[in-house]
Structure formats: C-alpha cells, structure tokens
Amino acid sequence: MKKIILISTIITLLMSVNAFATDELFNSTIQIRQAITITEDRGIDFGIVDSTNAAQTVIVSPGDSGSAQFDIICDSLSISWGVAEASINMDDGVGNTILVDSFTGSGTAVGSQTDLQIGASAYIGINQPSGTYTGTATFFAIYN
C-alpha cells in the first residue's frame, strides 16, 4: 500500500510541476508600399508684373492657372504633403531678389493618384529692377 501511495504522490507531483522554460510560436508580416512618385506638371508662375513706385504683393492661389501642379502616385491616399520651406527668394542672377512665402495647397484624389496645386505670395519691392526672377522650393509627400 505504501508503494501505491508513493507512486501516486510521485505522479501527482510530476503532473503539477510548472515548467521553467517554454516557447510559443508567433506570426510575422510585412506590407511593402509602392514608392511615392511625384511629377511636377508646372511650377508657380506669378505672371508679368510692372515695376512701380509702390510695393506689390502678387498672390497665386491653389487652383489658379499660375499655381504649381503635381501628380502623386502611391498605394494609399493617406499621405501628408506640402512645401518644405516657409519662404524662398527668387533672384534675377545679378543680386536682386523677391521674397516668396505663404505656400498653400489643395488637392483632388482619384484612386491612387492625387492632383495637387500649390499657391504662394510674391512680394515685389518699390521700383523692383526688371528681369526674370527664378527660385526653387521643395515639394514633398510622405506616407502617414
């Protein structure tokens, strides 16, 4: 009888012992998104402005014929986009500049393509020297 009790006790102890090491399987996944493609259809065109003895502000709104336009192709329309710089200077190549700021944008999404327009303000100085002024800004798009 002692043997039966001893064997029963050993079996009970073996069944109730907690493991000090164990393992569990887990899954892994990855989603690869298409690289964002940006195509500039046109840059901002402030038009032709006459130099006067008064300062002028030329505003091009998004959607105006002079607004910059970009096409973005991506997997998801959950993106952020805009202009990296708060302001830029356009120059005429001989030291004269025009400040451009107040970049604003609007867009229309169709499927995985978004058409975006960027507007801005250009500040023409008093008796601004004549010439063609150019500048560069950085348009960006990133997945959220």
Residue 113 clears pLDDT 60, i.e. is over it: yes
For the stretch 30-87, pLDDT in tens is 988 889 999 999 999 999 999 999 999 999 999 999 999 999 988 876 788 899 999 9
User: Of 87, 62, 68, 82, which is closest to residue 144 (Cα–Cα)?
Assistant: 82
Return the CATH architecture of domain 34-143. Answer: Sandwich (2.60)
For the stretch 72-112, pLDDT in tens is 988 876 788 899 999 999 999 999 999 999 999 998 766 67
Q: What is the pLDDT of residue 75?
A: 81
The pTM for the full model equals: 0.77
Return left, alpha or beta for 93; rule: phi > 0 is left, psi -120 to 50 is alpha, else beta. Answer: left
